[in-house]
Structures are given as C-alpha cells and as structure tokens.
C-alpha cells in the first residue's frame, strides 16, 4: 500500500518537527509493506504574509483530491489582530470535516503516577464556528460570539469516543499492560449554566453511548467542566476516555499535557471519514525556533496516531514503542524534559529503536 | 460600625459552612468595634422545591435594601434538567450587579512550592448571559448560546484587577512576606479564535491597565487561555493577578484550587459597588453532607474577603492569619486535607487563634 501524505510544517518549530515526522515514516521497516509519497504544502502566518492566504486554496484542494493523510506542524498567531488573518488549522478542520480531534495523553508506565487518557474533542463547532459581531451602544462596544452545538456533531463525537474506548480495551485484552481495567467514557459539559447547548451535548452523548455496541461494556459518567479541570489534576489516573465539546477539549488537553510534563509529548489527530491529519499539540514556539531543541515526540506520536486512523495499527504500534523506549531509558531527552539532547539526536535515537 | 449580613446557606454542606462563617464574625475581638446583625435568607434547589423559586424575590429585595454584605454557601444542581430551575448564584450576581468574582488562591508560605495568586473573574456576562435557543434542522436539533463581551464590563474588571494588584503590593510593602516582588496582571483570552469578543476583552483590558495609576507600577502580560491552563500547572508561582472573562475565570479558579490541594480552601467574593457576597468555591457536596466533615476554611476565608471589600481590612487580616496558623500547624485538618478533624473542631481551633 502506498500512502500519500501532505506535509504542512507551518511556522516556527513546525518546520523542525514535521521533517522528523517524514523521517520516521521513511524509516519504517520494509516488512510492513508500506510506501509513502510526500507533498509539501503551505499554511500559516508566513504563508499569509507571502500569499495573502493563511490557508491557500491549493493546500485544501491537494489534501482533498490527492492525499490519504497529512501532518500539520504549528502556526504562529500574530501578536496583534491582523486584518484578514485567521487560524488555518481551525479552517482546515472544517473544510475537510475532520470532526474529531483525538488527543491521547499518556505517561510512561514507570512514571510515579502513571496516567493514560484520551481526550476526544469535537472539532467543527462550539465557539469555533467563529460567528461574531460587534455593535456600538451608549456604554461602548459590545461583541457577541455564537456557541453552536448540534445533535449530529455531538452524536458522532460521542460515538467516536465509545469506539476508542472499545479499541483501547481490545489492546488491553491483547495483553498490553495498562492502568485501566475497563472502558469508561466521561462526558464533559456545563449544562448547569448552558442548559440548551451543553444540555444537548450531554443528552446526545448519553444517547450515543447507550447504543447496543457500547451499552454492555463501556461505562459512562459525567463531569461539569470546571470540576473536570479540578479532577484532572487531583486524580488524573481515573480517566480513560474524555469526550468534550470543541472548546472544553482545547482546555482539557493542554491541562492534561501539563500532567505529563511537557506539551512536547502530546500528539493529536484531526479525524474525518477516511482522512486524518496528525498534529502535535504544541504551538510554533518562536522563542526556541532554529535551535534544533524542539521536542519531536509530539509529532512522532502524531504520525503514529494518523496511521492508526488510516488503519495501519501495526506501523503505529512500532512508532509508539520506539518513542516509549526512548522515554523509558531517559538518556536522550530534549530540554523541555530536562535533558540536553537536540531534536536531531532524539529523532536518531527513536529511529534506531524502530 | 454595625454590618448587616445576609446568610444564604443554600443546599448540602452550605448549611454546615455558613454557620461557621457566622460564628467567626461573632467571635471577632471587641477592640475592632464591629457589630454584626444577621438575616437568614433562602436560595437553592431546596428553596426551589419548596417555593418554586431557586432565588426567591424576597432574598434579592432584602439583600438590596437591608444588607451590607452576605455569605452564600452552595447550591445543588439537579442531576437532570428540571423545568424552571436555574442557578440562583448566577442570577444573584447579575441582579445585584456584582461584577467581579475575586478568587485568591494561596498556599501557606511554608509549602514546598508556594503559590499566591488572585483570579479576578468577570461576573456578569460571557456565556453566563444564558441566552440560548434550540431549533430543528433536517439533520437534528441545533442549539446556540450567546457569548457576550462588553467594553464596559471588560474595562471595569481589568481596573479591579489592577487595583487588587496595587493593593497586594501595598501589603507586601508593609512587610508581609510574599513570593512576588512586583505587581503583575495576566490577561487571559482566546483572541486567536475569537477575534471580536475576546479581542475586545484583550484590547479593553490593556487600555484599562494603561491608566496612569497602573502604568508606572503594574506589569501586564497575556496568556491564551489553553496555554494559561498549561502554565497554571507548570509554573503557578509566576502568577500574581489573573484577569479573565467569566467562563475562563470559572475554569482557572477550579484549576488553581487543585494546586493548593483542595477546593475546600478556596474562597471567593462577588463584588459590586459597595456590596460583597462571600462564597466558598466548592459546591454543595451532597456526598459528604450531614457528617460534620466539610472543610470550613473556604467559607472563613470568604468571610475575610467580604470584609476586605467592605473596607474592614484589619478584621479580614485577623481571620486570614488565624486560618493560616491552623494550616501551618497542620494538627487539626479536615479529611479533604488528609486530616481527621471535624468541621466543628477546625472552626473551634481557628476561633481560638483569632
Ligand atoms: C491554535 C488554536 C486555534 C488551536 C485551537 O484552539 O484549537 C490550538 O490551541 C489547538 O489546541 O490545536
Ligand atoms: C455553580 C455554577 C453556576 C458556578 C459557576 O459556573 O459560576 C460555579 O461553578 C462557580 O464557580 O461559582
């Protein structure tokens, strides 16, 4: 099988980690019978300055028509509002209907307090519909944004969460050690204040998870989002799969990343029907760009995650365990983890372990 | 001076901690020349079941016309949506125009990693305007909520944040030990996605903090809210005063509470012109009600915070140091802090230290 992968480095350290992602795909053992072709694509603030478009139409077209998956680095936000500029990743998620943002946050098993959760974030609506308006009143300006929650999107994201919970159980059943015993999905919302929008998310998610294929095996519980943030930090080991509307998912995944010590470890995949874009959770980190010290692990794990959603689970597992081996040994670590290894050295070490 | 204080225990452990708040006011040394009168008021889910109103009109009227301040316990949210029920504290904040929710989160100075921050949360708008609608589409139900941000509310909350930063500096200048050297306000927003609403909050807060009285002495920085959650956990000691729109403030204060070990330690005050309601950050905790094991400290600190905003800073300082002394000694602690003391015992110990 040949997979055609779009590479969108974006800005800042995106340009250093996406090449690492390409390298690991090229280094996968021949026995897997996987071939890769790559297409370099533009998006981001630099692209905006060069071409006037943060997400050039060509990038969307090529992804849609020619690619099986993609890797997205990071983009810089301008420090002040710039007319006509808006985040290309948010646009891309919508244009390709990548309705799920899947963010596994996992410590090594030997950590003092191991955690192993997946945040399944709705990826197309909530305040990310970006429908805003501003008007003048005698007391000054007032701005409003729409937060939109639909039954359709809530149902499919909760279904995805249930499926991921089952898939994780299957992996545990196959003998892979885990801190969890049985699958559990936690529904996050704020329906005590937002009775209609978050109320709809809550009831629809409950309904989706009551489906026959989940009902007998996947536990379901709920957390109000503020209390979820609290518990995330007090008892993170409790959580298996967390499903959340777009914005809460954004917050919770950064919070969970703090628990494993660095955003530089946390991958994500933007997933739609038959398409996935791997994307490290970290930003473009202009303060450290060009120094070869960015942690490539978030990207390498995002590559694996993308492969999982393209049904290449064996290849994905190879990458995960090479990364885990590097972390467990703890000899070649990037500075965000307290080490002194360069990006290049970390990548080499992990490739060696494939 | 005689202060008339409304007591609104609400539901669950609210009924155990609000009496403790009353006790500490009654126990303040006579040398302070402060007298208190109390009015018992209803609100909450029980009030709703009894009277049909979660926030009875009489409660609002008495607070408005007869009281100088109040203490609010906690209310239970029904586990399913109940017609006509909606959170009385959200309504109260709006009805009395208590535009600021001030939430200091502080560890004892002897903690391994001491932290000392105040979250200044806008308290009247954002998604808490609760303007929602639901409509049918061929693909199912869709619900929308309005997130509203005004220049006026953003300006006054940022001004309050600046004033709190200056006040904290004054206390440090008077010789009280602190982990901070100079005042700093961190503006939290998500203007990379919400350019109009959060953009307005960001630019207005910047403007407010550029006022002459702050410009020379209060440092100002910004954090995107997801990154703020991350940093809150990675380097909490950095933060002095954080100012945020309503919902982000809700999230961040629960997150910060996790850092000091228990929501049972974290107070808040809902503050308007000349009026303040002290309110512990924790909920009604039905699981532990009636057992005399709720931590009363969040409420006792909320009493002190209310007094601060009623310009009784000396009385407030007495309560803070009695609480700190109890915590520093660590002998009589409630179960949420790993101790075995009852609510009654903790309260007695703190009263003794007044
Ligand atoms: C850059 C930003 C628009 C984005 C988001 O909010 O989704 C980022 O925070 C993320 O989590 O991928
Ligand atoms: C109970 C709920 C409405 C409230 C809020 O969201 O403000 C609570 O979480 C708080 O922080 O005081």
Mean per-residue pLDDT of chain B: 95
Cα-to-centroid distance, A85 and ligand 1 (Å): 15
Identify the burial level of B34 via C-beta atoms within 10 angstroms of its C-beta, where 0-12 means exposed, 13-18 middle and 19 or more buried.
Answer: middle
Cβ distance of A142 and B150 shorter than 8 Å: yes
In this structure, the answer to whether residues A221 and A239 fall within a common structural domain is yes
Domain assignment present for A111: no
In this structure, the answer to whether residues B69 and B5 fall within a common structural domain is yes
Calculate how close chain A gets to B89, using CA atoms only, in Å.
11
B305 CB-near residues (< 8 Å, 6+ apart): B102, B104, B267, B268, B269, B276, B278, B316
Q: Is the pLDDT of residue B302 over 90?
A: yes
Structure-derived torsion over alpha carbons of residues A133, A136, A137, A143, reported in degrees to the nearest 10:
30
Distance between CA atoms of A58 and A62, rounded to whole angstroms?
6
**Tokens 């919902």 appear where?**
B247
| CA distance to B122, B240, B246, B250, B266, per residue, from B253 (Å) | 12, 13, 11, 6, 9
DSSP state at residue B1: -
A80 CB-near residues (< 8 Å, 6+ apart): none
Q: Does B94 touch chain A (CB under 8 A)?
A: no
In this structure, the answer to whether residues A139 and A164 fall within a common structural domain is yes
| CA distance to A146, B214, B241, B248, per residue, from B164 (Å) | 32, 11, 8, 19
In this structure, the answer to whether residues B152 and B212 fall within a common structural domain is yes
Ligand 2 atom with the shortest distance to the CA of A226 = 9
User: Is the distance from the beta carbon of residue B182 to the nearest atom of ligand 1 less than 6 Å?
Assistant: no
Question: Going residue by residue through chain A (354 aa), what tens digit of pLDDT does each one get?
Answer: 999 999 999 999 999 999 999 999 999 999 999 999 999 999 999 999 999 999 999 999 999 999 999 999 999 877 777 788 888 999 999 999 999 999 999 988 777 889 999 999 999 999 999 999 999 999 999 999 999 999 999 999 999 999 999 999 999 999 988 999 999 999 999 999 999 999 999 999 999 999 999 988 999 999 999 999 999 999 999 999 999 999 999 999 999 999 998 899 999 999 999 899 999 999 999 999 999 999 999 999 999 999 999 999 999 999 999 999 999 999 999 999 999 999 999 999 999 999
Contact B346, B325 (CB under 8 A): no
Domain that holds residue B63: 1-112+261-354
User: Is the distance from the beta carbon of residue B195 to the nearest atom of ligand 1 less than 6 Å?
Assistant: no
Into how many domains does chain A fold? 2
Calculate how close chain B gets to A148, using CA atoms only, in Å.
5
In this structure, the answer to whether residues B250 and B129 fall within a common structural domain is yes
Beta bridge partners of B105: B117
| CA distance to A323, A345, A348, B245, per residue, from A330 (Å) | 11, 13, 14, 41
Nearest CA to ligand 1 atom 7: A250
Contact B275, B96 (CB under 8 A): yes
Chains A, B: CB contacts within 8 A come to 168
Q: What is the pLDDT of residue B135?
A: 98
Calculate how close chain B gets to A343, using CA atoms only, in Å.
22
Domain assignment present for A304: yes
Nearest CA to ligand 1 atom 6: A250
In this structure, the answer to whether residues A252 and A314 fall within a common structural domain is no
Ligand 2 atom with the shortest distance to the CA of A193 = 3
Residue B146 with chain A: CB contacts under 8 Å: 144-147
Point out the domain boundary residue: B259, B294, B327: B259
Instruction: Read off φ and ψ for residue A96, nearest 5 degrees.
Output: -95, 10
Cβ distance of B193 and A141 shorter than 8 Å: no
Q: Among all ligands shown, which has an atom nearest to the Cα of B226?
A: 1
Domain assignment present for A163: yes
Identify the burial level of A277 via C-beta atoms within 10 angstroms of its C-beta, where 0-12 means exposed, 13-18 middle and 19 or more buried.
Answer: buried
In this structure, the answer to whether residues B127 and B94 fall within a common structural domain is no
Here the tokens at position B174 are 């008077």
Instruction: Read off φ and ψ for residue B10, nearest 5 degrees.
Output: 75, -135
Ligand 2 atom with the shortest distance to the CA of B246 = 7
Contact A157, A100 (CB under 8 A): yes
Question: Residue ranges of the alpha helices (H) in chain A?
Answer: 14-26, 45-51, 57-66, 88-95, 151-173, 197-209, 212-215, 225-234, 246-259, 297-309, 313-329, 343-352
* B85: nearest CA partner in chain A: A192
CATH number of the domain that residue B306 is part of: 3.40.718.10
Distance between CA atoms of B48 and A259, rounded to whole angstroms?
40
In this structure, the answer to whether residues B145 and B40 fall within a common structural domain is no
Distance between CA atoms of A21 and A298, rounded to whole angstroms?
10
- Cβ neighbours, 10 Å, residue B180: 17
Cα-to-centroid distance, A230 and ligand 2 (Å): 13
Q: Which of A200, A225, A254 sits opposite B230 (nearest CB)?
A: A254
Chain B segment 290-349 residues within 8 A of A by beta carbon are none
Q: First and final CA of chain B: distance in angstroms? A: 20
Cα-to-centroid distance, B338 and ligand 2 (Å): 25
Mean pLDDT computed over B122-137: 97
In this structure, the answer to whether residues A165 and A274 fall within a common structural domain is no
Calculate how close chain B gets to A82, using CA atoms only, in Å.
10
Point out the domain boundary residue: B234, B259, B284: B259
Distance between CA atoms of A55 and A277, rounded to whole angstroms?
15
Distance between CA atoms of B61 and B347, rounded to whole angstroms?
31
């Amino acid at each position: 099988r040949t997979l055609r992968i779009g590479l969108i480095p974006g800005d800042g350290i995106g340009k250093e980690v996406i090449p690492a992602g390409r390298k690991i795909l090229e280094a996968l053992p021949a026995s897997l019978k996987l071939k890769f072709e790559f297409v370099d694509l533009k998006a981001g603030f630099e692209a905006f300055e060069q071409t006037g478009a943060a997400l050039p139409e060509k990038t969307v077209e090529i992804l849609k028509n020619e690619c099986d998956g993609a890797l997205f680095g990071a983009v810089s936000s301008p420090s002040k509002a710039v007319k006509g500029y808006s985040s290309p990743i948010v646009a891309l998620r919508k244009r390709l209907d990548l309705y799920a943002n899947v963010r596994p946050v996992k410590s090594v098993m030997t950590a003092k307090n191991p955690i192993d959760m997946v945040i399944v974030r709705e990826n197309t609506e909530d305040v990310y519909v970006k429908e805003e308006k501003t008007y003048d009143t005698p007391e000054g300006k007032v701005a409003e944004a729409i937060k939109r929650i639909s039954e359709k999107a809530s149902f499919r994201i909760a279904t995805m969460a249930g499926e991921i919970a089952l898939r994780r159980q299957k992996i545990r059943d196959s003998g892979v050690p885990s801190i969890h015993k049985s699958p559990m999905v936690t529904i996050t919302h704020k329906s005590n204040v937002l009775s209609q929008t978050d109320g709809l998310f809550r009831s629809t998610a409950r309904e989706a998870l009551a489906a026959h294929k989940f009902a007998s095996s996947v536990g379901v519980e709920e957390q109000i989002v503020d209390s979820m943030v609290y518990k995330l930090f007090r008892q993170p080991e409790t959580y298996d799969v967390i499903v959340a509307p777009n914005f809460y998912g954004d917050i919770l995944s950064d919070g969970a990343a703090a628990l494993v010590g660095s955003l530089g470890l946390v991958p994500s995949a933007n997933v739609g029907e038959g398409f996935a874009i791997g994307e490290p959770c970290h930003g473009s980190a202009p303060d450290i760009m060009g120094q070869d010290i960015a942690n490539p692990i978030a990207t390498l794990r995002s590559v694996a995650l993308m492969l999982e959603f393209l049904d290449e689970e064996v290849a994905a597992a190879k990458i995960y365990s090479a990364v885990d081996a590097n972390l467990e040994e703890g000899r070649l670590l990037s500075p965000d983890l307290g080490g002194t290894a360069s990006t290049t050295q970390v990548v080499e070490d992990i490739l060696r372990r494939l």
